[in-house]
Amino acid sequence: MAVDHLILTTFVASLFASLLLYLLCRRWSKKIVSKINEPLTVKPGNDDVDIIIVGAGVAGAALAHTLGKEGRRVHVIERDLTEPDRIVGELLQPGGYLKLIELGLEDCVKEIDAQRVLGYALFKDGKHTKLSYPLDQFDSDVAGRSFHNGRFVQRMREKASTLPNVRMEQGTVTSLVEENGVIKGVQYKTKEGQELKSYAPLTIVCDESLSKYIESFYTLRKPVASTINTLAGALYKVFLASPDDARSEMRRACFDYLSLGGVCSSGPVALLSGLNPRPMSLVLHFFAVAIFGVGRLLVPLPSVKRLWLGARLISSASGIIFPIIKAEGVRQMFFPRTIPAIYRAPPAHSSPQ
């Protein structure tokens, strides 16, 4: 029983250390926030363009519409303005729909045969369970939406193009124009093959094809996006087929934990649907699944083999979640306020009414 005692002691000590680290990080984050520099202000240039946006996908089109409504003079350059035809992004989570409402883009899911989605159905080893979105506190129109991504993108592009100060052009950006370490604009080739340059005080790249040009620049991601990406990545690794006993036990624990209902299902679904952006809730639910799995192994009677499998389960869970959090950025996920943002002053000219 000395081995049992050692494992239990190690397990409790690890949980205590995690709690202590969390409390210390909260304390340090408050000190970091107080030392953040004042936000930078970027003044409009003289090229009749305030902002260049490279790429007119979901992010680029939404940015163009939002900035255009603020009165910015926006030049959007997109490689292909025809309707995209690929299998990607067919499900808009309720949190994403709430963001569309906030941006005034909720009508972009209309007239594209979008279907309301109210939750998920899980099937495993002959068992099934239903997980509903926790939408009780929202209007009846709030739900997920399933649609053809290309139609959705086109609607957003059309919405942005209706603004008089947003110019959307088909062209391929070949490089960023840089002077003394500062991005001044872009060089691009038009649809007709003409090589041109466009200048603006701010260039926003929403096209992955230019990632090789911006590796040295810091990219910010909203906490809610980091939370969803982390959870999605963790669930993928949990349910990925594996002969490992600990991973198999983790899969069974995850399915049964979600099947319990109440906060055990609404909590994770709220995270996955973008209704709860708090990453600490993600970590707590993820390890609650692991501890739930360990508890099942110890019932009705623990054994050395079961305790060892439980320890491996906790280790496997840690090996899944922590690398994903590290990749997303610990500071960005848990302490986003410590990362200064760049704010732009309103344009000098009058905004369109």
In a shared domain, residues 237 and 169: no
Q: How confident is the model at residue 222 (pLDDT cuts 50, 70, 90)?
A: low
pLDDT at position 122 over 60? yes
Q: How confident is the model at residue 224 (pLDDT cuts 50, 70, 90)?
A: confident
Number of domains in the chain: 2
18-27, 121-130, 184-193, 308-317: least confidently modelled range: 18-27
CATH code for position 161: 3.50.50.60
Domain boundary among 217, 237, 263: 217
Through-space distance between the first and last CA atoms of the chain, rounded to whole angstroms: 77
pLDDT average, residue stretch 206-235: 67
In a shared domain, residues 152 and 233: no
pLDDT for residue 223:
65
3-state secondary structure the chain: CHHHHHHHHHHHHHHHHHHHHHHHHHHHHHHHHCCCCCCEEECCCCCCCCEEEECCCHHHHHHHHHHHHCCCCEEEEECCCCCCCCCCCCEECHHHHHHHHHHCCHHHHCCCCCEEECEEEEEECCEEEEEECCCCCCCCCCCEEECCHHHHHHHHHHHHHCCCCEEEEEEEEEEEEEECCEEEEEEEEECCCCEEEEECCEEEECCHHHHHHCCCCCCCCCHHHHHHHHHHHHHHHHHCCCCCHHHHHHHHHHHHHHHCCCHHHHHHHHHHCCCCCCHHHHHHHHHHHHHHHHHHHCCCCCCHHHHHHHHHHHHHHHHHHHHHHHHHCHHHHHCHHHCCCEEECCCCCCCCC
Residue of 242, 330, 249, 243 lying closest to 289 (CA atoms): 249
Contacts 24+ apart (CB under 8 A), 33-38: 33/335, 33/337, 33/338, 36/338, 36/340, 37/340
* Entry pTM: 0.74
Residue 18 lies in a domain: no
pLDDT at position 350 over 60? no
Domain coverage including residue 158: 40-90+148-217
Residue 248 lies in a domain: yes
Residue of 65, 71, 50 lying closest to 99 (CA atoms): 65
HSE at residue 93, side-chain half, CA atoms within 13 A, is 20
Cβ atoms of 263 and 220 within 8 Å: the answer is no
Average pLDDT score, the chain: 81
pLDDT in tens, 329-348: 787 778 777 765 543 333 44
Cβ atoms of 159 and 58 within 8 Å: the answer is no
19-28, 59-68, 147-156, 291-300: least confidently modelled range: 19-28
In a shared domain, residues 330 and 192: no
pLDDT in tens, 12-63: 444 444 443 344 344 433 443 343 333 333 344 445 899 999 999 999 999 9
In a shared domain, residues 58 and 205: yes
Residue 5 lies in a domain: no
Residue 349 lies in a domain: no
In a shared domain, residues 234 and 293: yes
In a shared domain, residues 271 and 169: no
Domain boundary among 193, 217, 241: 217
pLDDT for residue 48:
85
pLDDT in tens, 53-100: 999 999 999 999 999 999 999 999 999 999 998 887 789 999 999 999
* Report for 43-47, 204-208, 312-316: range of highest mean pLDDT: 312-316
Give the strand pairing for 144-146 and 91-92.
antiparallel
pLDDT at position 295 over 70? yes
In a shared domain, residues 129 and 183: no
Residue 96 lies in a domain: no
pLDDT at position 198 over 80? yes
What is the spatial distance between Cα 95 and Cα 93, in angstroms, rounded to a whole number? 5
* DSSP one-letter code for 249: H
Q: Which residues make Cβ contacts (< 8 Å) with residue 129, sequence separation at least 6? A: 121, 122, 255, 258, 259, 265
Q: How confident is the model at residue 227 (pLDDT cuts 50, 70, 90)?
A: confident
In a shared domain, residues 181 and 252: no
What is the spatial distance between Cα 57 and Cα 62, in angstroms, rounded to a whole number? 8
Residue of 105, 90, 95 lying closest to 142 (CA atoms): 95
Structure tokens that stand for 123 in this block: 């099937």
What is the spatial distance between Cα 142 and Cα 136, in angstroms, rounded to a whole number? 10
In a shared domain, residues 181 and 243: no
Query: What percent of the chain stands above pLDDT 90?
Result: 58
pLDDT at position 279 over 90? no
In a shared domain, residues 246 and 320: yes
In a shared domain, residues 233 and 281: yes
Residue 102 lies in a domain: no
In a shared domain, residues 211 and 268: no
